[in-house]
Every structure is written in structure tokens, then in C-alpha cells.
Structure 1
């Protein structure tokens, strides 16, 4: 029997898509652009395991198939899924196989389902490895390390039968009051672009497609207010907020997710300018555009009609819905003349193309399901070809992902301030006091959007310190205060612990830990205020007007410092909290961001000098909320500052100290003048470790336009970074290739070009500590 063309794995993907599309009814087409079911509603616990629900079977039958199923294995407080009723790694693989089997066997065309999972910092599923949050990844300034983490997390996801990972990568921390700051790689577009590339490349190595979110500008909402308005011009959008998306698309991302926020009066999911003109026509992107959860339904406020709202989003360039009630009615939109069937075909073709590219049609069909309820079937196999990378076994990938997560945690820990004496700690310190609301909580160091953890898993900072000390060294603990509020009842115990210690490690910061008592919006965001998100100080929906540390934590710091015991402050946080000058109260200050389950061991390794501090700030740390925004690459209008407070950050973007001293020379350019059409040269800078300990130094390259260009220049722009490992006394050179990408800027037509003028190329250890060399860029030679 001759197979249909779409079933022929040797046929080109466009031919297979065309053949399949030509066989589909209008109802089947609408089914392929829908992703309205929560995955945890597709199964239920039954005798001996789990089984498909009648709701899932009805959804498949209603549309003759299913485009995508979101979050089959998602587990968290919002979904209500936990160990009692959810899917572990083996059950998850079996249920994924059961979903595919049902759809293939009960529908006319047997089109497989795209299984879509959240991978915010590891697969958000039971027993999924939790990685440090993206802000922690940003602090590593290490794309190679992150690519390994993305590959390990992707292998976990793929081993459980899923195909697509949803990952926040495109948002920037332009205002740290925004609760989703932890999901960003930082405030800078260049750094975010390099890490986005690493994410896409690592996941692709594991055979997983990535949908990048959120497109676009969501990190620029006014006042740091979640899902609120943005006031972006087109130039700011392209210069800052589209850079990472452009890099991710070029690296091979499978899709982007249209954000909730608006641009120029229209929500992104309805913006033809963003989704078609920029993404498709200018960048040549041929992947998927997915709506954020319920975003299409929000358009009903504009259209007064869900059918028209669905047509508006699809016509703008959205291909795949998420949890909405509008896209299921697209057949009605076609019948009413609100949408052409050709436009619908275009979206369907993109969904089918993604399925063919990811190999769904060529996976080995799942085996028989003898009892239909709970047998632990093998995960669906895949003919990946002789040169494709192997997907690790469940046991192997769990170890690999956890190990690379711990390496990220260590690499991200940033030494913000140091008196040169208190660190590193001695394992034989006599007595160490570990104090604070974040000292002994795995839950508070793993960030938002994490699945429930097995009891006893992970390593807290207190546990990490206890494991690191020598026999005979006593480690005492006191909580001191609550995470939020101004409760001071624990201060006497904390003071007593610190007073008799050689050093006090004070673990402060925030928490994004959700609980069953947290109130949630219909899209899963925590509802802040009035105690609806108890204990949360960060996370989606948890925006702060004041990013200072809570009053109780500040009082604890003052009380412990007043004992005279040397103090080391460790900030476990998901956003940069505003910091006062702590030199009179703390000998050292470190930021650990949310370092993941094993973060306590990583913190201890740096505290005791087992590993040198090498993190660099991916964000600027403000002095107070009153001075926000405070990012490093604003427009250069030579502002003189406030009367009552400095407008400069407490710690600048790129800042990070070591336990040694590193000396920088002046950058040397291979040419002082280049033509705009032939701008290739090199920039070299000598770096020397003048101390007696090893250092891992991140040498940064910034561009500053002095004259020329199509628009007003920025204060500085990150354009490169190189990591050097330096032994005590060692001297090395950081070498930067300077070409079009380094020197380009947006012209009047919003195209990236090298424009004539004079620029300064600066190198140094942070954005506020650079030495510069001038470069003249002349008009094209021809």
C-alpha cells in the first residue's frame, strides 16, 4: 500500500505539509491551532496508575485531533498537582505515549499532538531538576555553561515524551520593581542575546524546540507593573527589547510567545507590526507564534466578540492559542467572512511544520495499552538518525542536570563588597553563626514556577556551611526575623548567636515560594496584596513599590552588626534589592540570587574559598526605589543627578569582586581609523592578577558613541565579554574581534548598520570602571 505523501519520512517537509493540509477539513484545521486544554486535566489517577479523562477524549473528538497540549506534566501550587496525584518521570513518559496513541488511533488523519511544557529553569514537573533562575544564569556571564544546562534540562523534558519547552528569555529587567525580574537574564540586550542563543542551541542538542517568551518589551512596563502598559518608541523597542529575540530566531528557535503587554496601543498578540512585519518579513522567521495564556481572550475588550478577537489575533500573525475560548471558534470566523481560510491555512501549516521538524510524525508509534489505565509504558521512541545526539537515560540526565545547575549556582555568586579581610572563611573558625530568614529554606532559594520538591531534598545555606566546616567548629543558627514585615521577636536569639561567634553569616533577601494558600489569577500569576501571596516578595504578579529589604531584615542586620562580630551578608533574591551603604555593618556582601536546590553548597564553597567568586552583576543594584530606573545603558544626556541622592547605582552593571586584585591596562586597537564598510579590527587589553589567589575575570567591552549616528547616543553599550582564568601573578590578554556587530547602530530606517563618526571602545571589570581607546569610523570607501 502506498503511504500518503505526508507519511513519507523521505519527502521534504513543505511537501508533507502541503499534502496533509489538502486533506483536512475546516474543523480539523481549527483543531491544529488550538491549545486550550490544561494538560493536568487530560489525565486522572486510576487503579494502578493514571488514565486519560473523558474531557481529553471529548476535546480530541470535537476537532478531529489536537494541535498542542500544554503542561501535561506541570506540577505546582496553581495546577494543584503534587506527588499524590501527579506524574513522575516514568508515569509522565507513559502518559505522553498514551496521549499520542489515543490521538493517532481515534482520529481520521492521526496527526500527533505537540506536547508543550514549561522549562523556566528546568522542567517544571515532579522530579524535574530545578536549575538556578535566569537572573542567576545572567550573573555567570557564561553562555557555554548555560548551553550545557539547557541541553540537560531539554533531555529531561524529551525523555518524558515532550517536544517543546517554554522559556522566558526575551524580557529585560528595566525596572526591578517588576516581580518577574528573576525570569530575565538581566538588564542588557547583548548579554541576554548571547544567553538566548545558548538556550536554543542547548535545547536543540537534546531534540527539543524552544518557544521564547515574551515577545516583546514586557520588561518595560510602566512602574514595574505586571502585564501593564509599555511606553516604548520603535527605536527603543528595536535597540533594547528585540535584540535577544532576533538572536534567538537566528539560532533556530521553534517559536516565540506573544506577550500580554501592548505596543503602540495594541496588545502584542494583536500587533501585525510585531508578529508579521518585524518577525516574518524583516527577520524571515518561519516558526510558530504562540499566544500567552488567555491573551487572545483579552482582545474581546476591543472587539466585543470572541469570534472577531480570534480572527484579529490570527490575522496579526498568531498561530497557536493558549487556554483561550476564541481560537476554538475560528471556523465561525471563516464562515462569517472575518477571516479567510487561506489565512487559517498559513497558521495551520506552521503548526504542522513544527511537528514535522521535531520528528513527531516519524516517532515509533506507541505500543499497545493492555489495560488502558495505568501501565508504565516506555516513552515514545524516535528515529533520530545516526548522527543525532543520544537522549540520556532518566538516571543519567538527572545527575547531569543537577550537577550543571550547581555549577551555575557557584558561577553566579557575586561578591558585591569586601573589606579584604573577612572572606574567605576558615573551616576552623571556632564558632560560626548562620542567621536570617533565608538561611535554612530550600523552598526560598529555588524561585517561582517550580514543582513540589521531595522532602529532604536540596541543600540550604545553613546545611552547606555545616558540611564545610572542620571538626570542632560549631555552627549555630537563629532565624532572627520573618521574611516580610517588621517582626522583631527573634532579634534577641539572633544577637545571642552572633555575640559569641567568630563570624556571622546573615542570609537575607526574598522569596518566590508559592503555596496552596496563594491566590492565583486565571493565568497562574500570584495575586499579590492583602495576604493573597503570603511570604512572597517576588514572582509573577508580585510587584513591589519599594525594593528595599523589609524593615524586619534591616533591623536584624543592625542588631547583629551592633554585636561587633564580623558580618557577611548573603542575599538570596530574585530581584536586585536596593541597598544602603553597608560598609559600617558588613565586611562582605554577596548576592546568590535564587541559586537552586543545591545552592546552599554553592554558597558555602564561595564563602570558604573552595571556589573563587566569579559572578558579575547582570543588573544594576539601586540605592533606593526613588532613583529608579537605574540601568547602565540609558540615553546620554549628561544628567547631573538628584539634589537629595545620587542617581548612580549602588553597584554598577557588570560589577563583581574577587578574593584577589586584578589590574587592567589601557585597550589597544589594531587600527585607529576604519571605513564603515570595512570595520574589522581587534581590541586587546592586558589583565594581570596582582594578588596571591587565583581569579576568574570577566573582561567586558563597551562601546560609547562620541559623535555621528542617526539618534542620540547611549551612555554605553555592552558589545563583548571574555573570561580569563588567572593564576596569582599571571598576566594575560583579552582579545576582542571588533567588526560590524560590535560597531553597528540603528539607522533612520531601524536597520543595523555601521555609521560614520567617532566611538570609544572601553574595557574593564565593570560598566563603571573602564579605560577607553578612540576609533574614527569614516564614510564607506567606495
Structure 2
């Protein structure tokens, strides 16, 4: 048996494996969803649910226990007691005594009742702050470890390609470098706490046709190599991630779950990944039911196993009895099963499971400590993007005597959280169960922030639907107020139970329902109006940014989590300063999709078409309460194609308030052997400066940051001229420089750097 893709396997593991029967081996390659009921928390879960009783499925042990905390609202302490007993049973009452890996969703925090809910990944991207995301990952991992959980199904490293896709709120950005650096930071944080992270969804899931979930993908090999794969490679090579999950996608007719080229040749042989590949829920069976490349579940199991999937989640629909029959009928080589089993046993040894005694479960546990809330607040504040401001913001906390707080999301805690938050993912099926933690709505937070003001809360309309009967009351409340705050956007959910989230794809990008009408009628009163968009995707709200009748200010909040209400209130009052930047372009329209700022010349506007895909606001855009000036960008005249080069820029806070600048370094390869983007983010840095302070930001850039796939599909750095610039977005060239890459064409290897190091001098008075 080949050892390619195997971790270092101890003699203990090899000895344990040598004792195993076929049934015991297969038991290690499947999960069991003990609590699965009628709740729809995974695609087609009702159709694919196994009928095998747990006692029978675990008679020979079990590989994974699926979401024992995250399927229903269960008390964490009581559930931990159950889990400790169950692990002891597996140790004491099965022949080999191997405990199970427990996995849970943890995209916005541990998806369990009473656990902290952090901002959604799109907000991580808006923060441009990997260090804070690392800190969040550690806290999430600490909570999971205390509960006996071993593996987290996060982060999502899909690069956003089309905002119509419902799972955009789970993604970080439309730029692969931002996705890679922030996603890898999350991996490090989670794994430093002892939890194995799982990269999702490898690969191409976000590139689905027309932005539809589970739709075919038509990405070419260059788009895969240059855009979709780099974040995963970074998390594997630099983050040391221990688990990867396949995507549901079929790319050019080949389902990823059956792609040996991706799951073995690329992931393991080229990148050196030696962890465990787990299937996305039911995706092995989907080879039979949805892709129709397998005639039955046994053939589906054979295809997935040969491709490189080691564990079938959430249950053993294909890897249990159907795979056993295929082996006994001589249709599957048992060596493929041995390969996967050794990887799983090595993972269990690495996690300490083979030595764990499960003596005493936790008697008490706090899943939402002050530390959790502090990080949730800071990340929420950093993620808020100020899209427009005519000077109304920040509001004087003492000035408004009456605020009209309007809109369907004004007094909704659920509107602050993404699809994979426990509140929207699970509690939506249990309306009788309390939220389990403190989740102040924006209305709650504004009553605290503006304690002396009268606040009138009127919904005006729902998130969806066309009932306009409440709009007149909202207009009246606005007219009677000093300032109106209209809170619109999304309600996250799954599979049609919301406006964004898994399975909630759209064919237009207007605000859902009649929310635009509500905003326009409030603005028409002439009362100073602030619009807050609480959403999981960017909407086509260019009409609210520029035009004859626009709000005084627009704030974009990408599901900012449990501290999102106070964070928004603090931004409106000026107690917190806006520093978020758009991690995805603000679209002009649905008809302009798919769009990416990483487009070649032909992807932008031109005189030969009447259609314009230019976004309403570009990637990287965001206002602050002060002003920053960038100057004196310096770069070497020449640098070798296989070397690093240094770029520096001066940054000055020219305004009257303290603030944080997100310094963005872009590049353009002017002429190349294949078409290249008109702009590409090379590096970024968050730089806090007091009013009047100056700092120098220095970027140490490996040449591989300018690599691309050539006509052979090989990633190279070519000699040639490169334009560099720094500005407030990908479109703003505030200060620029030119350099030339010299020497022979350089083929990128694993030894080449993938990240840019940044050094910021101590701020001084300008």
C-alpha cells in the first residue's frame, strides 16, 4: 500500500489497524447523526437520513459523532455528561475500544445553544484583521474542547464570484489573498486550541452557474489555479490544516467528490496534505442521486474512496453496508479502505483520543464569557463599512431628542446573525426555546447609547412580502423625529427559509420585499436619514449612495453577531470609528453578475457594449470619520522573478479625529503571456493613527504574489513591467510606482513565499 498522503503512522496505529475486521474498518470511516430529526439543517437531509439504529451502526465502533450539540437546543452540561458516557461505552464495550471524533459547525462560533455568536465570515473580510480572527478562533476552539468536541467544520475558503449565491455570507471576500490570509488565521486559532479545522468547500463551490446552490461549475483551469485554489493552498501549506471537506460541485462534468485529480494528485501529492478528507454531508450519496455518475451507493462509495475521501459524513449511507458489499463482491480493493482507516486512526491518535479516559465531564461551562463578548464586539466594530456620509455622522449623543428607528431589522436580534449561527440554523425550528444568551437588537443598543433621546420604533414593513400598510406610520414617525435610522436587509436561513443563506439564492439583487420603498419614502420627508443594511450579501443599493434623493449616510453591516447592535450604535454615536472596507464589490445590478474586481481589460466597461458591469462601489472601499493621505510610494526599479522586493508608503491622518486606515497595495502586470487583472491586491495592513500622525508602511513582497497560471497550467512569475499603487480602494490610485521583474521565467514551488510581511513604523507627528 502506498504511503502517499499518509501522515507519519505510529506502530501503535499500525498494530491497531492490523487487528481490525472489515466491519471495524468501515465503522471508522463513517459518522452517525444521533440526534437527527425533522429539522432541516443540511441539504436533502430528510431524503438521505439513514434508517440504521445507532446501536447497530456503532457495534464495531464509529468514526464520527455528528453534531451532538448542534442539531437541537440541548443544555451543554447535560449533553456533555451524555457524551462522556457514550465515549466510555465505545471504549469499554466495543472490541477495539476506539472513541469517536465529535464534529460541530463553528463558522460564526460554536453552533450550540448558549454559545457565543461572532460576526459572519463576510464581516471578517470587511475587518481586514487576521490577528483578531485568530483570536476569535482560539476562543471558539477553547469552548469546543471543553465540551469534548474535536473537529470544527470551518472555515469556508470559497472565493466570492457571484453575490446572488446564498452562501455569500459564509465566505470571506472576493479576493483570494484576503480569503487565504484571514482563513488561515482562523485555522491557526482553532487548531492552537486543540481543535482540527476543516476547510470548506474544496473546491469551486462558489462559482456555481447563475449563483445557484449545487449548480454546475464551468471554471477553467486558470481560474481554479489563480483564484479558487490559492486560499486552500495557503491554509494547507502555511496553516497546517488537519482536515478538508469536498465541495458539492461538479467542475466541467466531474464531481469533486469523485475527482482523484483534486483530492489526491493536487491536495496530497503536490501540496503535501496528510490529514483527513471528509465528505460534505451526503455528497458521497449524491454521486448516485444528483450527479448520476454512479449506478448505486456502492459504486458511489468506490468512486469517492478512490478519489481520496476518507470519511463519509454525516452518516454511513454509502461507506457502511453498500461499501462492505462492494468489497466482498470484489469490486473495491480493501487497500483503499486501509489507506483511509490509517489516516483516521492517526488523526484520533493526534487528538489524544486513543489515550482519553473520559473521567469527569464538565460540571459547569460558560460558552459566552466576557472574553468572547470582547472579541465579538471588537470584530463587529471593525467590520462595519461606512458607505456614504454627508457629515451627519457621527451623531452627537446629546443632540437628538427624538430618534425614529424604522425598518424590519430595527428590533430583531436574529437579523444580526448569519445562516450558520445557532439561532438561525437551529432555533428557528424551536420558537418556544429562548435564545440562551444576551443578544441585544439595534433598538436595545440605541436606547443605551442615546439614553436621553426618545426612540420610536416602527417596522414599516417586513423583510419580505409586499404589505405596505405600515409604511405611513414609519413616515409619520420620521417626520416627528430629529433623525431617522432605517434598518433594512436580510433574514438569514436555510433552503427557502430566509432571504440569504444556504439554499437561499436569488435572481436579483434589489433589497428583498418593499424595503427600498420604505427607505425612499422616509428620505422624501427631508428628515436626516441614516440607512443601516444588515445583510449577508451586498445588494444593488447604488440608488442610496448617489442620486437626487439619497440618505444622509449608509452603513453596511454584514451580520455582525451578538455584539452587532452595540457596535452599530457606537459607530452612529462616534464612540467607535468606522474602519471596515468592502470585501466584495457593491454590485451595480444582478444583470452585471458574475463580476469580480480581478477582471481583465475585457471584463470592464468599453465602447463596444452598452452594458456596464462597473460596481456601485469597488472592492476595498470604506469611509472613516477622518481622512488619510497616502504618498511617496517607493519600489525598486528592478527585482528578480524569484526574489522578494520591498514597497513602502507614507500614511498621514490628515483629519481631526483618530482613526484606522486599511492600507491597500495593488499591482497590475501590464503585459503578460495570458490576460491579467487590471488590479490585484498584493498586501494590506490596518494602521491606527491619531489625528495628525504619520507612519511608514513597508511591504515585503515575494514575487510569487504576482504569479499566474501560464498556458500549460503551471504557476509562473514572468519578467516584465508592473504598476503598483496604494489608494482607498482597488480603483483609487492615490500614489503609484513602477518596477520591472527581471530574469528568466520562474516556476513557483512550495518554497516560494505566499504571504506579504508588513512593518509599520511607530507613528509620529506629521
Q: TM-score, normalised by structure 2?
A: 0.89
Name the Cα RMSD after superposition.
Answer: 2.1
Instruction: Name 1:320's counterpart in structure 2.
Output: 311
Shift of 1:299: 1.4
Instruction: Name 1:661's counterpart in structure 2.
Output: 627
Is the 1:507–1:572 contact (alpha carbons within 8 Å) kept by the matching residues of 2? yes
Is 1:340 the equivalent of 2:333?
A: yes
1-side partners of 2:745 and 2:619: how far apart?
A: 37
2-side partners of 1:448 and 1:12: how far apart?
A: 38
Shift of 1:638: 6.4
Instruction: Name 1:22's counterpart in structure 2.
Output: 18
Is 1:460 the equivalent of 2:418?
A: no
Instruction: Name 1:687's counterpart in structure 2.
Output: 651
Change (3 A) 1:638 1:274: closer
Shift of 1:321: 0.2
Instruction: Name 2:689's counterpart in structure 1.
Output: 726
Instruction: Name 1:772's counterpart in structure 2.
Output: 736
Shift of 1:487: 1.7
- 1:746-777 Cα offsets, whole Å, 9 max, x none, are 34444433221111122122111123211111
Instruction: Name 1:423's counterpart in structure 2.
Output: 394
1-side partners of 2:368 and 2:456: how far apart?
A: 36
Change (3 A) 1:741 1:92: farther
2-side partners of 1:456 and 1:649: how far apart?
A: 38
Residues 197-206 or 734-743, more deviating = 734-743
2-side partners of 1:746 and 1:734: how far apart?
A: 30
- 1:389-408 map, 5 Å: 394-395=365-366, 398-408=369-379
Shift of 1:396: 7.6
2-side partners of 1:332 and 1:542: how far apart?
A: 38
Instruction: Name 1:156's counterpart in structure 2.
Output: 143
User: Which residue among 277, 284, 288 is the counterpart of 2:265?
Assistant: 277
Give the unaligned 5+ runs of structure 1.
1-10, 42-52, 76-80, 368-376, 381-392, 514-525
Shift of 1:39: 4.5
Shift of 1:400: 1.8
Instruction: Name 2:552's counterpart in structure 1.
Output: 587
Change (3 A) 1:35 1:58: same
1-side partners of 2:17 and 2:437: how far apart?
A: 51
- 1:169-184 map, 5 Å: 169-184=156-171
Instruction: Name 2:763's counterpart in structure 1.
Output: none
Is 1:306 the equivalent of 2:277?
A: no
Corresponding residue SS for 1:769: coil
Is 1:242 the equivalent of 2:232?
A: no
Is 1:703 the equivalent of 2:703?
A: no
Shift of 1:482: 1.1
Instruction: Name 1:557's counterpart in structure 2.
Output: 519
2-side partners of 1:645 and 1:713: how far apart?
A: 22
Instruction: Name 1:567's counterpart in structure 2.
Output: 529
Change (3 A) 1:187 1:638: closer
2-side partners of 1:217 and 1:30: how far apart?
A: 29
Change (3 A) 1:649 1:347: same
Instruction: Name 2:186's counterpart in structure 1.
Output: 199
- 1:339-388 Cα offsets, whole Å, 9 max, x none, are 2111110011111111111111122x123xxxxxxxxx5249xxxxxxxx
Corresponding residue SS for 1:103: helix
Instruction: Name 1:433's counterpart in structure 2.
Output: 404
1-side partners of 2:190 and 2:23: how far apart?
A: 33
Is the 2:492–2:501 contact (alpha carbons within 8 Å) kept by the matching residues of 1? yes
1-side partners of 2:202 and 2:299: how far apart?
A: 22
Is the 2:32–2:62 contact (alpha carbons within 8 Å) kept by the matching residues of 1? no
2-side partners of 1:206 and 1:638: how far apart?
A: 43
Change (3 A) 1:38 1:575: farther
Is the 1:177–1:224 contact (alpha carbons within 8 Å) kept by the matching residues of 2? yes
Change (3 A) 1:456 1:151: closer
2-side partners of 1:674 and 1:644: how far apart?
A: 41
- 1:428-577 map, 5 Å: 428-451=399-422, 452=427, 454=435, 457-471=438-452, 473-513=453-493, 526-528=494-496, 533=497, 536-577=498-539
- 1:471-494 Cα offsets, whole Å, 9 max, x none, are 3x2111111111112221111111
2-side partners of 1:25 and 1:147: how far apart?
A: 41
Instruction: Name 1:72's counterpart in structure 2.
Output: 68
2-side partners of 1:113 and 1:55: how far apart?
A: 17
Is the 2:115–2:437 contact (alpha carbons within 8 Å) kept by the matching residues of 1? no
Instruction: Name 2:679's counterpart in structure 1.
Output: 716
User: Which residue among 340, 346, 350 is the counterpart of 1:357?
Assistant: 350
Corresponding residue SS for 2:677: coil
Instruction: Name 1:757's counterpart in structure 2.
Output: 720
Change (3 A) 1:54 1:176: closer
Instruction: Name 1:35's counterpart in structure 2.
Output: 31
Is the 1:132–1:446 contact (alpha carbons within 8 Å) kept by the matching residues of 2? yes
2-side partners of 1:55 and 1:332: how far apart?
A: 19
Instruction: Name 1:56's counterpart in structure 2.
Output: 54
Is the 1:437–1:507 contact (alpha carbons within 8 Å) kept by the matching residues of 2? yes
Shift of 1:420: 2.5
2-side partners of 1:379 and 1:56: how far apart?
A: 25
Q: TM-score, normalised by structure 1?
A: 0.87
Is 1:410 the equivalent of 2:391?
A: no
Shift of 1:641: 4.1
Shift of 1:188: 1.0
- 1:203-218 map, 5 Å: 203-218=190-205
Give the unaligned 5+ runs of structure 2.
1-6, 38-50, 428-433, 747-766
Instruction: Name 1:673's counterpart in structure 2.
Output: 638
Corresponding residue SS for 1:394: coil
- 1:49-128 map, 5 Å: 55-61=53-59, 64-75=60-71, 81-82=72-73, 86=74, 88-128=75-115
Is 1:629 the equivalent of 2:594?
A: yes
Is the 2:667–2:680 contact (alpha carbons within 8 Å) kept by the matching residues of 1? yes
Is the 1:688–1:732 contact (alpha carbons within 8 Å) kept by the matching residues of 2? yes
Change (3 A) 1:774 1:276: same
